[in-house]
Amino acid sequence: MAAFDRLGTRRAVRHLVAPFIDRLSIPRYAQAVKSRGILFAVLALGLAGLSLAAARHHVWVITAAALALALWMADLARRDLRAR
């Protein structure tokens, strides 16, 4: 027995009988698209600059918060931009 899936292609209704996740139905993102990693890198650089500017004016709370956010964004950028 065959049925149509969400994409309109015919395939067996086997996935309705067995209770498991069909790997074909999980959306995959293009590995060539690195725009999110670039966005995180730009945000990390901006927050690092903000942290430096706040440190020059001795505003330590803003310095610490901007530095923490810059490190977090840099880690997210590293994860997205590394080779898979």
Model confidence over 15-26: pLDDT tens digits?
555 556 666 666
Mind listing the pLDDT tens digit for each residue in 30-64? 555 578 889 999 999 999 999 999 999 999 999 99
Confidence of residue 67 (pLDDT cuts 50, 70, 90): very high
pLDDT (0 to 100) of residue 44: 98
Burial of 7 (0-12, 13-18, 19+ CB in 10 A): exposed
- CA dist list (Å): 22 to 29, 39, 64: 17, 32, 45
Here the tokens at position 21 are 């996740």
User: What's the total number of domains in the chain?
Assistant: 1
| Structural domain boundaries, residue 65 | 2-81
Of 32, 24, 37, the closest CA to residue 78 belongs to: 37
The predicted structure's pLDDT at residue 18? 52
